[in-house]
Amino acid sequence: PADPVVVSGIQPSGRLHLGNYFGALRQHIDLHQQHDAYYFIVNYHAMTTVQDAERLREHTFNVALDYLALGFDPDEAALFVQSDVPEVTELMWIFFNLLPTSALEKGVAYKDKVEAGLTPNAGLFNYPVLQAADILAYGGSLVPVGADQKQNLEIARDLARRFNNRFCPEDEPLLPVPEPQILDDVAVVPGTDGRKMSKSYDNTIGIFDEGDALEEKVMNIVTDSTPLDAPKDPASCNVFALITLFADAETQQEIADKYRAGGYGYGHAKQALQELIEEHFAEARARRKDLEQRPDYVRDVLRQGAKEARAQAEPLLEKVRDRVGL
């Protein structure tokens, strides 16, 4: 089979947290060297919630810093800002006309809002169509996301087929149907309150939190009230669940043994977790501080990434326009 084209977007809607790291960024960084990869900071998508120019700009820049600090190498793949490739929004408009609104009414994020009695904006309603345009504009065939994205990927596949059926001769489909590569085994990272870590729940630990701020969040992780002397069950502890993401097998075993033996309190476990986090991101943290001093370099990386992305999207859109009669 042909080498996959990896595509993935990340929303600049707040500070990235450990859930984003283990559920998305780490995979992105792992994949970007072996494959063609397009990683976009989806500022249009973020506008469904972030409607403040200063904040949107700041979040967008911070996501770029995060990727570069965590090891993204701009010589190996393209990192860019979604809105720097206008072909994508053009493709979205064309797609709007191929999809019945009923397909979007079933969207989980949209439905949840409606069911919660909130009024979703049209951006949220159409979110999956923009996502489909993002994927198809670069010929994406490997979309490393969590299982929660299955439905949106189905819409991208559906739109590719609908476009090909309507506008292309049967033996000459223009848009490859993306094969979803859902990472089912990606653990759901728990937040400090034990629910899924999410910025919507205000239970996150930032990838680059450090010092007192990190300590405060770690110390706030919810645990049960087993007394210090009593044996504890690591399998049912949020702190231990986070420890397993950072510690090697041997260290995990050691800490699990201490839990079961008693005399080891949750405060001890939290201290161990904080040290593991500090250590895991120490190098990235130093790189990020250095990059913060070089904003022009970061902007150059994004500009170059957008250039590479447009080199894919532009000729495709020329063909798309021709097929639909624009």
Query: Residues at the annotated binding site for ATP?
Result: 11-13, 19-20, 146-148, 189, 196-200
Footprint (CB under 6 A) of ligand ADP, residues 199-218:
199-200
Residue 85: CB minimum distance to Na ion, A: 18
In contact, 193 and 203? CB cutoff 8 Å: yes
Q: Which is nearer to ligand ADP, 19 or 139 (CB)?
A: 19
Residue 182: CB minimum distance to ligand ADP, A: 10
Query: Across the strands, what pairs with 306?
Result: none
Closest CA to 20 of 238, 237, 267, 197: 197
Footprint (CB under 6 A) of ligand ADP, residues 236-295:
none
Q: Which stretch binds ligand ADP (CB under 6 A): 88-96, 119-127, 198-206, 304-312?
A: 198-206
Helix (H, G, I), strand (E, B) or coil at 70: coil
- 111, 113, 150, 258: which one is catalytic? 113
For residues 11 and 21, give the distance between their C-alpha atoms in angstroms, rounded to a whole number.
13
Q: Among residues 77, 124, 132, 143, which is the contact residue for Na ion, using CB under 5 A?
A: 77
Q: Among residues 3, 30, 52, 76, which is the contact residue for Na ion, using CB under 5 A?
A: 76
In contact, 21 and 199? CB cutoff 8 Å: no
In contact, 221 and 238? CB cutoff 8 Å: yes
Q: Which stretch binds Na ion (CB under 5 A): 54-62, 71-79, 113-121, 316-324?
A: 71-79
Q: Which does 318 bind (CB under 5 to 8 A by kind): ligand ADP, Na ion, none?
A: none
Whose tokens are 């590569």? That residue is: 181
In contact, 99 and 165? CB cutoff 8 Å: no
Q: Burial, 278: exposed, middle or buried (Cβ in 10 Å; 0-12, 13-18, 19+)?
A: middle
Q: CB-hemisphere CA count at 13 Å for 264?
A: 20
3-state secondary structure 250-287: HHHHHHHHHHHHCCCCHHHHHHHHHHHHHHHCHHHHHH
Other Cβ atoms less than 10 A from the Cβ of 295: the count is 12
217 annotated active-site? no
Q: Which does 159 bind (CB under 5 to 8 A by kind): Na ion, ligand ADP, none?
A: none
Q: Which stretch binds ligand ADP (CB under 6 A): 141-149, 153-161, 244-252, 256-264?
A: 141-149
Does position 148 interact with Na ion (CB under 5 A)? The reply is: no
Q: Which is nearer to Na ion, 72 or 281 (CB)?
A: 72
Does position 160 interact with Na ion (CB under 5 A)? The reply is: no
- 111, 150, 199, 307: which one is catalytic? 199
For residues 126 and 134, give the distance between their C-alpha atoms in angstroms, rounded to a whole number.
13
Does position 24 interact with ligand ADP (CB under 6 A)? The reply is: yes
Q: Which is nearer to Na ion, 68 or 91 (CB)?
A: 68
Does position 112 interact with ligand ADP (CB under 6 A)? The reply is: no
Query: Across the strands, what pairs with 206?
Result: 17
Task: Return the amino acid letter for 60.
Answer: T
Does position 23 interact with ligand ADP (CB under 6 A)? The reply is: yes
| Catalytic (active-site) positions | 113, 196, 199
Would you tell me which residues interact with ligand ADP (CB under 6 A)?
10-11, 19-20, 22-24, 145-146, 148, 186, 188-189, 196-200
Would you tell me which residues interact with Na ion (CB under 5 A)?
76-77
